[in-house]
Amino acid sequence: MSARKDKEMELALDLDVRARARNPKPRAAPAEQCSDGELLVRIAGGDREAFDILYRRFVRPVFSLALRRLGDRGRAEDATQETFTSVWRSAGSYKPERGPGAPWLYAVARNAIVDRTRARSEPPAEAPDAPSTDPGPPEEAERSWLAWRVHRAMQELPEHERPLLELAYWSGLSQSEIADFLNIPLGTVKTRTRSALGRLADALEELQ
C-alpha cells in the first residue's frame, strides 16, 4: 500500500515536471535588448536594472538638451537629475499603446527644463533695435527634437565607434588626426567610421 502511494507520488511529480517542460513560463527578455518603451514599463514595476539602462541611453541627450536650452551647466545638471527622478516616479503614467518611449521621455525632459527656465529670475529685457535672426520657437523645437533623436541614436553605437564620429563631426578632426589621436591605424578609422554611420542610420530609422 505504502509502495503504491510512493509510486503515485513519483508519477505525480514526474507529470508536473513534464508539464512545466512543455509549457515553460515565458522568460522576460534581457533588459539591454528592451525597447525604450519596454524599459519604462519595467521601471513602473520598480525594476532598477531597467532604470540603469534607460539612464545610460538617455542621460547625455537629456543633459545636452538641457544645456542647449538653459545655457548653464549647473542648471542643466539639475534639470537632468529632475528628469530622471520624474521618470522613476512616474513611469507608470507611460502608456505603450500611445507610442514609443523616447518621445514620452523627451516630454518629461522638456517639462523639467521649462520648470528650470521659469525658476530663473531674470532682469527685465530691453527692447531690441532690430528683429532677432535667431530661430523662433517652432524651429527651435524641431531642432531640439532632431538633436534628441540623433544623440539618443549615438548612445547605441559601440564604445569603439562612437568617439570616432564625435571627433570627426564635433571636434573637427580629420581622419588622420583621429588616427593619431586614438593611436589606431588610418584604415581602422575609415572602416569604423563607415560602420558607425551605418549603425547610426539603422538606429535613426528605428527611432522614426
Partner 1 sequence: MTQGPNFEELVGEDLPAEEEARLRRAHELLLAAGPIAELPPGLEEPTIGEQRRPQDENVYQLLPRRRVGAALALAAAIALVAFVGGYIVGFRHEGFTAQYSVPMHGVAGVDASAKIQIGSRDANGNWPLKVEARGLPRLKTGYYEMFLTRGKQMFTCGTFGGAGAKTVKVRLNAPYQLQRGDGWIVVKELPGRPKPGPTILTTA
Which residues would be at the binding site for partner 1 (CB under 8 A)?
46, 48, 51-52, 55, 59-61, 63-64, 67-68, 73-74, 76-77, 80-81, 84-85, 88, 143, 146-147, 149-151, 154, 159, 162-163, 165-175, 177, 180-181, 183, 190, 193-194, 197-198, 200-201, 204
Joined together, the cell numbers standing for residue 61 give: 541627450
Smallest gap from Cβ 176 to partner 1, in A, equals 10
Smallest gap from Cβ 28 to partner 1, in A, equals 15
**43 or 104: whose CB is closer to partner 1?**
43
Smallest gap from Cβ 56 to partner 1, in A, equals 8
Q: State whether residue 25 is helix, strand or coil.
A: coil
What is the spatial distance between Cα 30 and Cα 198, in angstroms, rounded to a whole number? 25
Sign of the alpha-carbon torsion through 198, 203, 204, 206: positive
What is the spatial distance between Cα 147 and Cα 197, in angstroms, rounded to a whole number? 16
What is the spatial distance between Cα 164 and Cα 193, in angstroms, rounded to a whole number? 6
**38 or 167: whose CB is closer to partner 1?**
167
